[in-house]
Amino acid sequence: MSPRMAVPTEMGSVTDNPFWIVWSDGHRSHYSWQRLRIACPCARCKGEWDQRPAPLTERDIPATIRAMSLTRVGAYALRFSWMGGHDTGLYPFPLLRHELCECDECAARRAAAGPR
């Protein structure tokens, strides 16, 4: 088996801003609520098959957006219920840990890798 994925050992609540997660690999991540919502991986936001809606941007999501609740899904993801009721996105831990983390180190790593 490939090494197990990092999982949250501790995390903030919906009242924290920014939202934060401490991972089992020791890394500490933080996230702005707006960017988390923009990154929603659900089929309605990201599309599927031949349905490809225009990607969400800061213009679509107010900077004041917040999650009303969050739950763990099985052993692999988080689900946020956003203001307005949207809650179909499951955020797998690898997405949160490696692609959405906004800490300086991760932001620099992604910038160096260039746009994909």
Partner 1 sequence: MPGRSDGLTREQVLDALKDVQDPELHRSIVELDMVKDVVIGDGRVKVDALLTISGCPLRETIVESIKAKVAALPGVRAVDVHLGVMSQEQRQALIGKLRGGETAFKGPGSFLGPDSPTRVIAVASGKGGVGKSTVTVNVAAALAHLGHTVGVLDADVYGFSIPKMLGVHGRPTLIDQMIIPLERDGIRVISMGFLLPDEDQAVIWRGPLLHKTLTTFIGEVHWGADLEYLLIDLPPGTGDVSLSIAQTLPQSHMLLVTTPQEAAAQVARRAAKMAEKVNMEVVGVVENMSYFQATPSGAPVYIFGQGGGAKLARELDVPLLGEIPLDQSVREGGDAGRPIVIAHPDAPAARAFRAVAEQLRSAVPVPARA
Q: Which residues bind partner 1 (CB under 8 A)?
A: 1-2, 4-5, 7, 72-77, 90, 92-93
Q: Which is nearer to partner 1, 54 or 75 (CB)?
A: 75
DSSP SS3 for 106? helix
Task: Tell me the two tokens of residue 26.
Answer: 């020791």
Q: Report how far residue 97's alpha carbon sits from residue 73's, in angstroms, rounded to the nearest whole number.
A: 15
Q: Phi/psi at 33 (nearest 5 deg)?
A: -60, -40
Q: Which is nearer to partner 1, 76 or 107 (CB)?
A: 76
CB of residue 62 to partner 1, shortest distance in Å: 29
Give the max Cα distance, the chain: 42
Q: Which is nearer to partner 1, 32 or 81 (CB)?
A: 81
CB of residue 6 to partner 1, shortest distance in Å: 10
CB of residue 53 to partner 1, shortest distance in Å: 23
Task: Tell me the two tokens of residue 6.
Answer: 């990092």
